Amino acid sequence: MYYTSPESMTLFRALYNNDYGLQDAYVAFQAKVAQSFSANKYVVGYDPINEPMPGWDSLPNFLDLFTPGHFDKMQLAPLYERINAEYQKASKDNIMMFEPGQFPDMIGLGPEAVVWHLGFEKPPGAEIGSANHVLNDHTYCCQLGANVCAATGEPSAADADKCLDLH
């Protein structure tokens, strides 16, 4: 529920729009991370934003969010391209593990679910087949319903078949 709070949505909006230079600072931070860890053989890659969410800033933009892939293409891809350029400056071997927006990602559940197309036409700052990119996407069995993970935060073994159908 924190990701959908007004404070979180305002922060994401500021990041994507570079309000107050926030995106510039974030790209500089990612550059420093890559410079610091590129020589570390235990670092497999870099995921700049875990489960990115859009920043809702007006009704027209809010309605665009319901267009599959719009957020990925219009807000994430440009930011990811800037970050990837910094990863590549630090080392041509760096791998970007990039994620699409978490909303909207699918409608429905199980075998009948419809998974929306991503808005990325190619890996950020690269071409199809890039050895320096990994599409990193998540799905969670907890999406099956409000009670699936209510007891412990994780699905129970009794829901294993339902979880498998979801994925």
Instruction: Give tens-digit pLDDT for 59-107.
Output: 566 667 667 888 899 899 999 999 999 999 999 999 999 999 876 666 6
Question: In this structure, are 72 and 126 located in the same domain?
Answer: yes
pLDDT at 157: 87
Question: In this structure, are 154 and 76 located in the same domain?
Answer: no
Question: In this structure, are 125 and 163 located in the same domain?
Answer: no
pLDDT at 152: 85
pLDDT at 90: 98
pLDDT at 125: 95
- Please count the structural domains in the chain: 2
- Domain harbouring 124, CATH code: 3.20.20.80
Question: In this structure, are 122 and 146 located in the same domain?
Answer: no
- Work out the percent of the chain whose per-residue pLDDT is above 70: 84
Question: In this structure, are 130 and 158 located in the same domain?
Answer: no
Which regions of the chain does DSSP assign to beta strands (E)?
96-98, 106-107, 114-115, 133-135
Structure token digits, residue 39: 């020589």
Question: In this structure, are 21 and 38 located in the same domain?
Answer: yes
Instruction: Output 17 or 117, whichever has higher pLDDT.
Output: 17
Question: In this structure, are 159 and 93 located in the same domain?
Answer: no
Question: In this structure, are 131 and 148 located in the same domain?
Answer: no
Kindly tell me if the per-residue pLDDT of 164 is higher than 90.
no
- The Cβ-side half-sphere exposure at 92, using a 13 Å CA radius, reads 0
Q: Give the count of beta carbons closer than 10 Å to the beta carbon of residue 162.
A: 15
Question: In this structure, are 46 and 116 located in the same domain?
Answer: yes
Question: In this structure, are 19 and 95 located in the same domain?
Answer: yes
Question: In this structure, are 129 and 157 located in the same domain?
Answer: no
pTM score over 0.85: no
Mean pLDDT value across the chain: 86
Tell me the C-alpha to C-alpha distance, in Å, between residue 84 and each of 40, 75, 116, 163.
18, 15, 24, 34
The residue range of the domain holding 154 is 139-167
